[in-house]
Copies of this chain bind each other. A is one copy, B any other.
Amino acid sequence: MAKGLPKRSEDYSKWYNELVKKADLAEHSAVKGCMIIKPYGYSIWEKMQAALDKMFKDTGHSNAYFPLFVPKSYLSKEADHVEGFAKECAVVTHYRLKNAEDGSGVIVDPDAKLEEELIVRPTSETVIWSTYKNWIQSYRDLPILVNQWANVVRWEMRTRLFLRTAEFLWQEGHTAHATRREAEAETVQMLNIYATFAEEFMAMPVVKGVKTESEKFPGAIDTYCIEALMQDGKALQAGTSHFLGQNFAKAFDVKFADKEGKLEHVWGTSWGVSTRLMGALIMAHSDDEGLVLPPKLAPIQVVIVPIFKTEEQLESIREVADGFKHELLKLGVSVKFDDRDTNSPGWKFAEYEMKGVPVRIAIGPRDIENGTVEIARRDTKEKKVVSKDEAVQYITDLMEDIQRNIYAKAMDFRAELTTDVSSYEEFKEVLDGKGGFVSAHWDGTAETEEKIKEETKATIRCIPMDAEEEDGVCIYSGKPSKRKVLFARAY
């Protein structure tokens, strides 16, 4: 493994790109904007999926699968929705290739033109609500609590691995309810699940809030979101949960008969997180040596590196290592024993630092003599020599401590980089200085929001759910405001 990431302080963006590559997480493909998620990166995504999927199922949701293609006319049925998605979509127009007559290769067969073009789904509200129309007749058919794990495509010209790609993987929940109240409760429940996942698994603190009109999902009444802060002081939207009202039910004419037999439009929600979370996870904790993973999402939680010169030394180390492996596996800890003789211990140390393995055990001949092992934690890089007999307990405690510590560190960082300001001057100073979240009064108009964005590149990340009502004046227009909102430059 070639060492040497750029330092975060020197070129954060290059640091990120190199880290994604050197930790074997993902790479660009030959298809513009589409990424390849490499096995190590994908194994982290699988851990995320497993944790989220369990939370969805524990709250009564089931998975299903809906078509990749959306007929063009479907996309158009909800006015805001088509406006939001038509500008960046992959369009299938033909269903066959044929050999060129001049022998130059295969060409699109002009005789195989589709009557109606198909859009590769950018999101599935339209396909799913056109289906729900057939699934819902009466209140007995409600609620429908369905999720899908899928790929989606939103054409992007400027892409970054995990953060912005033309194709990405995600889950999209789509629920249907008899009442507004129930749909709203679902929207908030799913937001809370995302926040819990971000904080407890990713060790990444998030602000829960509501998007402004101009930032909300095309077709939603309200978009709730979780916003995280990256180490460069930029915000990242990590998940969204939309209260759709009756918009899609109206667009696709989905009604149900209530207990009195009266026909009503159905209430809907949708909610999603994507492989963008990988980008957030990478940027939230990692350092100049590489990835730092929370133990709960690390595919390899403990790596054992033997330090040996002779085959006999390796054998006696292997005996100890196998014992650890066995005991840790019983406790559900994933362990790798790297006994390759093609690479030096130093090379391996750097490799597993780059890959963010939370705990490293090194065992050498002297350890064998003394009945000890050396245990290093990835987050603080502290090392400790521990008696062999106490090592398993030490490691399980350590993993909990690492999970807590990187969360606390990210929490402290966010606290430092969240600033209340009361003037536009101060607002701009903070943004250009330390960056981060800036809490400020805003007059509630799209005009002001747009002006601030144009002038500073900062957007309103959300109106925090815990924002208290307080009288103030908008930092930009001086007009009255009832509560502060959270601004930031963002990914």
Contacts and interface: CB of A to CB of B under 8 A. Distances in A.
A23 interface: no
A298 to B, nearest CB: 15
A81 B248 CA distance: 42
Given A73-B105, A92-B92, A97 B119 contact: yes
Given A34-B69, A151-B68, A94 B96 contact: no
Contacts of A99: 86
Interface stretch (A38-46, A195-203, A397-405): A38-46
Interface of A: 27, 29-31, 34-43, 45-46, 62-76, 82, 86-99, 105-106, 108, 117-120, 127, 130-131, 134, 140, 146, 150-151, 153, 155, 167, 169, 342
Main secondary structure of the interface of A (DSSP, over half): mixed
- The number of times this chain is found in the oligomer is 2
B65 A42 contact: yes
Given A30-B74, A39-B146, A65-B42, A97 B106 contact: no
Given A68-B34, A68-B167, A89 B93 contact: no
A45 B127 CA distance: 21
Given A36-B67, A42-B63, 15 more contacts: A29-B66, A30-B71, A30-B130, A36-B66, A37-B64, A43-B63, A46-B63, A86-B96, A86-B98, A88-B95, A89-B96, A90-B94, A91-B94, A108-B117, A140-B342
A95 B32 CA distance: 12
A31 B117 CA distance: 11
A76 B103 CA distance: 12
The 8 closest A-B pairs by CB, nearest first: A34-B67, A39-B62, A86-B97, A37-B65, A91-B94, A95-B155, A93-B93, A90-B92
